[in-house]
Amino acid sequence: MKVIHCLTATRESCGSATPIVCLRNVSGATLKRMSVVRKVRVTLTSLFLVCAFCSLSLANSIEVVVNTDLLPRISDSLDTYYQDLVAFGYAPTVYPYDPASGTTSDLKGHLQSRWASGALDGTVFIGDLPVATYEMHDDFDGRYSAFPSDLYYMDMDGHWADNDQNGRYDSHLGGTGDVAPDIWFGRITTSPLGNESSLVDDYFQKNHAYRSGELKFKKEALVYIDDDWRSWANGWDAAVQQVYPGATTLVDDPYTTNADDYKRRLAAENYESILQTIHSSPSLLQFKSPDAYSYVHSYEIPLLNPQVGYYNFFNCSFANYTRTDYMAGKYIFETDYGLAGVGSTKTGSMLRFDIFYNLLRDMTMGESFQEWLDILGVDGYQLWERQWFYGMTLLGDPTIGPATVPFSTSIPEPSTLVLLALGWGVLFGYVGRRCAGSA
């Protein structure tokens, strides 16, 4: 098979030995658009360094949708998050929502009205909110599947329909716009993990510690590739190196990649990011070796407490937040370090890591995930793209990322930070006012 300008992957990961998909090229127009977007984002990122201390808004509007029952139990930590967002240049609006009183289309209708008026760039869902289920009769190997699809809440102008009226969307067309996402999205869903409100409180506490420079990571990444994807290990490592040049640890030896080695690294090492490609179910990792299988269970992750902030879970069904003890949630919400991760609620995962990590050099996790999905959907989503990507979502806060939180690495010393903060408060007051004026 020709692989020029393409990445390939097998579906062996997800129970089928049928190979191969070939992803189309990114068009010149799209690359040009990416370049323009990046220039804007780089400018904004630089301004954050100033405006974070000026408490000024860059009018990056975010709708914080919160379950009404949960809201009073997390009010203090939600206030901290709100203030963090403002300090980082966002214009947040908290929108309490009672899932018993509305449907997916009701909630989406609210987001659409905000988006249509130009007052919405992204959203974060906190607590249990209506789940948009999408069903396919032509999933991998012609099988039927039904799964949560957060693309529903990211696509503001496409047309979603439930033609057989069984409560599951089965049609997604361009509508008045296109099928691609129009806003970024993240979810903080902890009820399937237990202790819902305390996990949300803990999450915003470490989020604040990260934003304020108290929680730091080595500017390094682990790329952990189990047996079935070894052929692509070097290419995927190169993709991650766009964010961590010369600072990735690639582990792809079939005998080395096993449960014991993985757990040892998670318990003892420190990385800002991990890309892991391993067989899985919603609550289990299955490592392959030439002569054996080995496993890591969902309950082991909080015990390991990996010192990792950002995750790319190439693990089927790992992010299915409707399942009890869903494993991706354990990494993000039940450790002292997890901040955000992309993964899938169904069989499938991310592909074209080169695009995603290129975006992540300058953008937040939420922006990078949206742009990646937007680029792949520029001419609609083919069947194989729906099979692979329609379950993709982002767990955690979408407004942070390796490149967008100043002082997130261990390089600047605290004393330096204090001096810089004091200096900027005086020296850049004028620049800050210009930020506000141009917002």
Q: Count the neighbouring beta carbons within 10 Å of the beta carbon of residue 76.
A: 10
Nearer to Ca ion, 236 or 310 (CB): 236
Number of residues that bind Ca ion (CB under 5 A): 18
Rounded to whole angstroms, how far apart are CA atoms 345 and 333?
A: 17
Looking at residues 306 to 325 of the shown chain, list those that interact with Ca ion (rule: CB under 5 A): none
Judge whether 274 and 310 are in contact, CB under 8 Å: yes
Q: Is 164 in the site for Ca ion (CB under 5 A)?
A: yes
- H-helix or E-strand spanning residue 173: strand 171-173
Of the candidates 405, 364, 354, the residue with the CA atom closest to the CA atom of residue 207: 405
**Taken in order 191, 143, 182, 56, is the CA torsion positive or negative?**
positive
Nearer to Ca ion, 291 or 415 (CB): 291
Q: Is 178 in the site for Ca ion (CB under 5 A)?
A: yes
Among 84, 128, 182, 385, binds Ca ion (CB under 5 A): 182
Q: How far is the CB of 18 from Ca ion (least distance, A)?
A: 21
Of the candidates 48, 172, 63, the residue with the CA atom closest to the CA atom of residue 108: 63
Looking at residues 208 to 247 of the shown chain, list those that interact with Ca ion (rule: CB under 5 A): 226-227
**Taken in order 277, 344, 187, 113, is the CA torsion positive or negative?**
positive
Looking at residues 251 to 280 of the shown chain, list those that interact with Ca ion (rule: CB under 5 A): 254, 257
Nearer to Ca ion, 235 or 254 (CB): 254
Nearest residue to the partner Ca ion, using Cβ: 257
The crossing angle, in degrees rounded to 10, of helices 365-376 and 353-360 is 140
Q: How far is the CB of 325 from Ca ion (least distance, A)?
A: 24
Q: Is 171 in the site for Ca ion (CB under 5 A)?
A: no
Among 92, 130, 148, 158, binds Ca ion (CB under 5 A): 158
Q: List 160's β-bridge partners, or say none.
A: 172
- H-helix or E-strand spanning residue 427: helix 414-427
Nearer to Ca ion, 203 or 287 (CB): 287
Query: Which tokens in the block code for residue 268?
Result: 């003892």
Q: Is 409 in the site for Ca ion (CB under 5 A)?
A: no
Among 30, 83, 242, 289, binds Ca ion (CB under 5 A): 289
The residues of the shown chain that bind Ca ion, judged by CB under 5 A, are 155, 157-158, 162, 164, 166, 168, 170, 177-178, 180, 182, 226-227, 254, 257, 288-289
